[in-house]
Structure 1
Amino acid sequence: MTFMNFFGKTCGFIGYALQYACITHCTFEYIGDFVMCSGPSMEPTLESNNILLTEHISPRLQKLRRGDIIIAKSPSNPRQNICKRIKGLPGDKVRGNFPKRSQVVPRGHVWLEGDNSSNSADSRIYGPVPAGLIRSRVVCRVWPLDKITSLAA
């Protein structure tokens, strides 16, 4: 095998690897990805170490609905993602812990709550969440295998 033949095959392999890496990146960034859920805030619907299939299209098209489970950047810690259910959309009246009176979800925001209300840091604590922090909508649980189920509202 000559050097030029080896060099040509190596460049071809690198080219294919880069193409697949770009396709994979675009798929996970713009279409959907897998997320591991951690923490008790969504119990009993979701448990720690559940793996979820999520899609990124609905949040970008602003097609989220009340009842959807979403993945978002935490408003109190941007390095952390949260998994919560949408309980209120812009214009909805919701009741938070602080203050104890009703409030209206402002335009461009959503009201998020965990299913385990006694053990969830959510909009009842930090208020309405900007819709721009929503990363994806949960489609289904894929792990553990014996609990595969659709979670789309």
Structure 2
Amino acid sequence: MWKKVIKTGLIVVAVETTFTDRVACLAEVSGSSMQPSLNPEDNKGRKDWILQNRMAVADYVVHRGDIVTFTMPSDAKSCAIKRVIGVEGDIVRKRKYVNQAVVIPAGHIWVEGDNGRNSLDSNSFGPLPLSLVTSKVTHVIWPPDRWQKLSTDELSCDRVLKQDSSLIISEKSVT
């Protein structure tokens, strides 16, 4: 009997581990960098729990407006959650430096926290390699009164310009 229990337990652990590594998992959001979208100030100390869809980024395709989790470029043991502001080929003006713009290289994205006053993001570490993205955040699961599908509509940001030949010429003089 014990052999059957142990065998069943090992199978359950293997399936659960594979599911959370490859498909989806839940995670608690810490900090205020994504306020008001996540952990809003009126949450009174309660933290949001989110659904991380790992399959949604398996092909390394993300769009402006998506909320993603990623491994921090400077610390492989730390992860963060931010919104995608720019994708490869876009020109993004840095948040604090109006006269500095960055062209997002192939295989990279520009991420920022919704709470710009309190966010360690691409304005600090530059374009993020897509290979560091671990999931797309799709829902707030907890607390129950915050349950919602997160909006990832295409962003309209005056600091992000789609790349085309006329914009490249005008932006080169800005940097």
Matching residue within 41, 53, 56 for 2:54: 56
Query: In the TM superposition, what whole-angstrom CA distance separates every residue of 1:35-55 from its partner, at most 9, and x where no partner exists?
Result: 111111000110172100111
Equivalent residue, structure 2, for 1:150: 149
SS of 1:40's equivalent in the other structure is coil
Equivalent residue, structure 1, for 2:171: none
* Structural RMSD (CA): 1.5
Listed as ranges, the gaps of 5+ residues in structure 1 are 1-8
Identity %: 31
Equivalent residue, structure 2, for 1:86: 84
Equivalent residue, structure 1, for 2:164: none
Who wins on radius of gyration, i.e. which is larger? 1
Listed as ranges, the gaps of 5+ residues in structure 2 are 40-45, 153-175
TM-superposed CA distance for 1:74, in Å, is 1.1
Equivalent residue, structure 2, for 1:106: 105
Query: In the TM superposition, what whole-angstrom CA distance separates every residue of 1:15-58 from its partner, at most 9, and x where no partner exists?
Result: 11111111100100000101111111000110172100111112
SS of 1:138's equivalent in the other structure is strand
Q: Which amino acid aligns with 1:59?
A: V
Give the number of equivalent residue pairs: 145
Q: What CA distance in whole angstroms lies between the structure 1 residues aligned with 2:97 and 2:77?
A: 25
Q: What CA distance in whole angstroms lies between the structure 2 residues aligned with 1:144 and 1:152?
A: 18
- Is the 2:85–2:112 Cα contact (8 Å) retained in structure 1? yes
Equivalent residue, structure 2, for 1:72: 70
Query: In the TM superposition, what whole-angstrom CA distance separates every residue of 1:77-96 from its partner, at most 9, and x where no partner exists?
Result: 22211010000100011011
**Matches of residues 132-147 of structure 1 in structure 2 within 5 Å?**
132-147=131-146
Tell me the TM-score normalized by structure 2.
0.79
- Is the 1:37–1:51 Cα contact (8 Å) retained in structure 2? yes
